[in-house]
Amino acid sequence: MVVAVLGPGGVGGALAARLGLAGHRVLCIARTDTVAAIARDGLTLDWRGRTLAARPEAVERLTEPVDLLLVTVKRPDLEAALDRIASDAVRSAVVLPLMNGLEHVEAIRAHLGRRVAVGSISRFEAYRVTPTLVVQTTRSGAVTLASDELPPEDLERAAVILSSGGIEVRIGHGERAVLWEKAARIAVLAVTTALTQRSVGELRADPDWRQTLEAGLAEACAVATADGVPQTAEAQLAIVDSLPETLTTSTARDVAAGLPSELDAIAGSIVRAGRRLGVPCPTLEGLIQQVEETCRAR
């Protein structure tokens, strides 16, 4: 199968390496400097002490047909990245965004049409050290995908491809449910780790911050429930308690480095959904404001 990865950063780079080593032809679509680096050195995945070396192809623009297109860019880069995809290249592909937040799917469909499924990746932490070196800290990972429009056999084909790379895959029931599957907790974790620069384990062990986590999760779950996807803060907190102690978020890393972050796309999308549905989110709004003020003060 031919798999394209738009945005071979942490998640995208790790998946590109895994799928290439599984025997698929993998094309990484990226900017000029990243394309040159991957063409020269390939991709190296540092996975829990193991070094996996892959040789995907790298191109600045996708023009040939593929079976699966993974969209793994960060939200601020999405529109520019989508301009690198020719519409003919995804005419029969499954386009699967693995991004956080609630608002990116329609933006992708506006560029690429109705072949876009909805996806979510969880239990997966990976970050890019250099354009060709990615570190994956988690054991494996799980992807949930769904589509209200694509035929079941197309989703099954995408699931088989991803499974070959050692990823647990589940086909969910409905796009909205998949979008919300992790949106509530990642919004709270993104904003709290970005503000404190502390790991998930440190936050949940601190009584004051645990109370903040609970309040934020209660708000996000109330928004999800109002949007037709019932969730409880207790269930989400149980998942947070099961996460690796050292886990952090890409939002926290970007804020620490002074880079554009996905704070608005992740946490801001929950707040906007709350306003649309009449569900107040004072805790999340306050945390977002504190992070923004901290960034402006630097």
The single residue of 182, 187, 219, 262 carrying the catalytic annotation is: 182
Q: Are 174 and 269 in contact (CB under 8 A)?
A: no
Identify the H or E element spanning 27.
Answer: strand 25-29
**Token pair of 151, please?**
């035929």
74 is catalytic: no
Dist CA 107 CA 111 (whole Å): 7
Q: In angstroms, how far is CA 285 from the centroid of its own chain?
A: 22
Q: Which amino acid is located at 146 in the chain?
A: A
Locus of tokens 């409880």: 232
Locus of tokens 């109002």: 226
The tally of CA atoms less than 13 A away on the side-chain side of residue 233 is: 14
Dist CA 38 CA 58 (whole Å): 6
Partners of residue 133 on adjacent β-strands: 44, 130
Q: Is 141 exposed, middle or buried (0-12, 13-18, 19+ CB in 10 A)?
A: buried
Closest of 287, 239, 290, 296 to residue 267, by C-alpha: 287
Catalytic residues: 182
